[in-house]
Structure 1
Amino acid sequence: MNYASTRNPATQVGLSHALAQGLADDGGLYVPCTLPAFNARDFDADDSLADVAHRLLQPFFADDPLAAHLSEICTTALDFPAPLVPLTPAHTGMLELFHGPTAAFKDFGARFLAACMQQVGATDGLERTILVATSGDTGAAVADAFHGKPKLRVVVLYPDGRVSPRQAHQLGCFGDNILTLRVAGNFDDCQRLVKQALADAGLRSRLCLSSANSISLGRLLPQMSYYAHASIRHWRTRGGELNFVIPTGNLGNALAAILARRCGLPIGDIALATNANRVLPDYFSGSAYQPMASLATLANAMDVGAPSNFERLRWLYPDEQALRGEFIAEAVEDAGIREVIAHGEARYGRVFCPHTACAVRVLERIRERGDSRDWAVVATAHPAKFEQVVEPLVGHAVEVPAALAMLLDRPSQAEPIGADFEPFRERLRLI
Structure 2
Amino acid sequence: MNFISTRDQTAPATLATALRAGLAPDGGLYVPESLPAFSPADLAGCSDLPATAEQVLADFFADSELTDELATICREALDLPLPLTGIGPYTWMLELHHGPTAAFKDFAARFLAACLQRLRKEDEPEQTVIVATSGDTGAAVAAAFHRRPGFRVVILYPDGRVSERQAHQLGCFGDNITTFRVDGDFDTCQRLAKWALGDADLARQLALTSANSISIGRLLPQIAYFVHATAALWRSIEQPVDVIVPTGNLGNALAAILAREIGLPIGEVVLATNANRTLPDFFSGQRYRGRPGIRTLANAMDVGDPSNFERLAWFFRDRDLRDAGIDADTVDDDTIRSTIKTVFDGEGRVICPHTACAMAVLARRREAGNRQPTVIAATAHPAKFDSVVEPLIGRSVALPPALAELMERPSRAEALEGSIEAFRERLKAWQR
Which TM-score bucket, shorter chain as reference? over 0.9
Cα separation, 2, equivalents of 1:371 and 1:414: 46
Give the AA of the match of 1:242. Answer: V
Question: Which residue number corresponds to residue 228 of structure 1?
Answer: 227
Whether contact under 8 Å (1:314, 1:323) holds in the other structure is: no
Question: Which residue number corresponds to residue 209 of structure 1?
Answer: 208
Cα separation, 2, equivalents of 1:336 and 1:159: 24
Question: Which residue number corresponds to residue 121 of structure 1?
Answer: 120
Cα separation, 1, equivalents of 2:124 and 2:322: 42
Cα separation, 1, equivalents of 2:319 and 2:335: 30
Cα separation, 2, equivalents of 1:425 and 1:266: 47
Question: Which residue number corresponds to residue 7 of structure 1?
Answer: 7
Shift of the 139–10 alpha-carbon distance from structure 1 to 2, 3 Å rule, reads closer
Question: Which residue number corresponds to residue 24 of structure 1?
Answer: 24
Whether contact under 8 Å (1:285, 1:324) holds in the other structure is: no
Whether contact under 8 Å (1:283, 1:324) holds in the other structure is: no
Could you tell me how far 1:344 is from its partner in structure 2?
Answer: 1.1
Give the AA of the match of 1:358. Answer: C
For structure 1, the residue ranges without an aligned partner over 5 or more in a row are none
SS of 1:273's equivalent in the other structure is strand
SS of 2:167's equivalent in the other structure is helix
Whether contact under 8 Å (1:183, 1:417) holds in the other structure is: yes
Could you tell me how far 1:422 is from its partner in structure 2?
Answer: 1.2
Question: Which residue number corresponds to residue 359 of structure 1?
Answer: 358
Pick which of 222-231 and 318-327 moved more. 318-327
Question: Which residue number corresponds to residue 338 of structure 1?
Answer: 337
Whether contact under 8 Å (2:10, 2:25) holds in the other structure is: no
Whether contact under 8 Å (1:169, 1:408) holds in the other structure is: yes
SS of 2:11's equivalent in the other structure is strand
SS of 2:180's equivalent in the other structure is strand
SS of 2:339's equivalent in the other structure is helix
Whether contact under 8 Å (2:9, 2:26) holds in the other structure is: no
Cα separation, 2, equivalents of 1:359 and 1:388: 20
Pick which of 367-376 and 301-310 moved more. 367-376
Whether contact under 8 Å (2:298, 2:353) holds in the other structure is: yes
Whether contact under 8 Å (1:284, 1:324) holds in the other structure is: no
Give the AA of the match of 1:196. Answer: W
Cα separation, 1, equivalents of 2:302 and 2:328: 15
Cα separation, 1, equivalents of 2:10 and 2:177: 36
Cα separation, 2, equivalents of 1:325 and 1:42: 25
Cα separation, 2, equivalents of 1:39 and 1:177: 42
Cα separation, 2, equivalents of 1:351 and 1:206: 46
For structure 2, the residue ranges without an aligned partner over 5 or more in a row are none
Cα separation, 1, equivalents of 2:281 and 2:56: 33
- Per-residue CA deviation, residues 159-210 of structure 1 (Å, 9 max, x unaligned), is 0000000000000000000000000000000000000001111211110100
Question: Which residue number corresponds to residue 79 of structure 1?
Answer: 79
Question: Which residue number corresponds to residue 348 of structure 1?
Answer: 347
Whether contact under 8 Å (1:203, 1:429) holds in the other structure is: no
Whether contact under 8 Å (2:352, 2:380) holds in the other structure is: yes
Give the AA of the match of 1:246. Answer: V
Pick which of 97-106 and 361-370 moved more. 361-370
Shift of the 9–27 alpha-carbon distance from structure 1 to 2, 3 Å rule, reads closer
SS of 2:295's equivalent in the other structure is coil
Whether contact under 8 Å (2:14, 2:64) holds in the other structure is: yes
- Work out whether 1:219 is the aligned partner of 2:215: no
Count, aligned residues: 430
TM-score (norm 1): 0.98
SS of 1:12's equivalent in the other structure is coil
Shift of the 160–296 alpha-carbon distance from structure 1 to 2, 3 Å rule, reads same
Pick which of 67-76 and 345-354 moved more. 345-354
Cα separation, 2, equivalents of 1:25 and 1:93: 41
Cα separation, 2, equivalents of 1:405 and 1:83: 21
Cα separation, 2, equivalents of 1:377 and 1:370: 17
- Work out whether 1:244 is the aligned partner of 2:243: yes
Whether contact under 8 Å (1:279, 1:305) holds in the other structure is: yes
Tell me the C-alpha RMSD between the 2 structures: 1.1
Whether contact under 8 Å (1:286, 1:324) holds in the other structure is: no
Cα separation, 2, equivalents of 1:388 and 1:240: 39
Question: Which residue number corresponds to residue 42 of structure 1?
Answer: 42
Cα separation, 2, equivalents of 1:319 and 1:296: 35
Question: Which residue number corresponds to residue 287 of structure 2?
Answer: 288
Question: Which residue number corresponds to residue 100 of structure 1?
Answer: 99
Could you tell me how far 1:58 is from its partner in structure 2?
Answer: 0.3
Could you tell me how far 1:241 is from its partner in structure 2?
Answer: 1.4
Whether contact under 8 Å (2:3, 2:15) holds in the other structure is: yes
Whether contact under 8 Å (2:156, 2:180) holds in the other structure is: yes
Give the AA of the match of 1:259. Answer: L
Pick which of 131-140 and 366-375 moved more. 366-375
Whether contact under 8 Å (2:267, 2:325) holds in the other structure is: no
- Per-residue CA deviation, residues 210-246 of structure 1 (Å, 9 max, x unaligned), is 0000000111100011101100110111112121100
Could you tell me how far 1:9 is from its partner in structure 2?
Answer: 6.8
SS of 2:307's equivalent in the other structure is coil
Cα separation, 1, equivalents of 2:322 and 2:186: 26
Could you tell me how far 1:79 is from its partner in structure 2?
Answer: 1.4
Give the AA of the match of 1:80. Answer: L
Question: Which residue number corresponds to residue 63 of structure 1?
Answer: 63
Could you tell me how far 1:348 is from its partner in structure 2?
Answer: 3.0
Cα separation, 1, equivalents of 2:321 and 2:133: 31
SS of 2:129's equivalent in the other structure is strand
Could you tell me how far 1:346 is from its partner in structure 2?
Answer: 2.4
- Per-residue CA deviation, residues 264-296 of structure 1 (Å, 9 max, x unaligned), is 112221100000000000000000000001100
Cα separation, 1, equivalents of 2:422 and 2:66: 36
Could you tell me how far 1:126 is from its partner in structure 2?
Answer: 3.9
Could you tell me how far 1:34 is from its partner in structure 2?
Answer: 0.5
How high is the sequence identity, in percent, across the aligned residues? 57
Question: Which residue number corresponds to residue 258 of structure 1?
Answer: 257
Shift of the 153–195 alpha-carbon distance from structure 1 to 2, 3 Å rule, reads same
Pick which of 347-356 and 288-297 moved more. 347-356
Pick which of 154-163 and 229-238 moved more. 229-238
Could you tell me how far 1:369 is from its partner in structure 2?
Answer: 1.4
Cα separation, 1, equivalents of 2:122 and 2:369: 55
Map of 1:319-330 to 2, 5 A cutoff?
319=318, 321-330=320-329
Whether contact under 8 Å (1:121, 1:127) holds in the other structure is: no
- Work out whether 1:419 is the aligned partner of 2:389: no
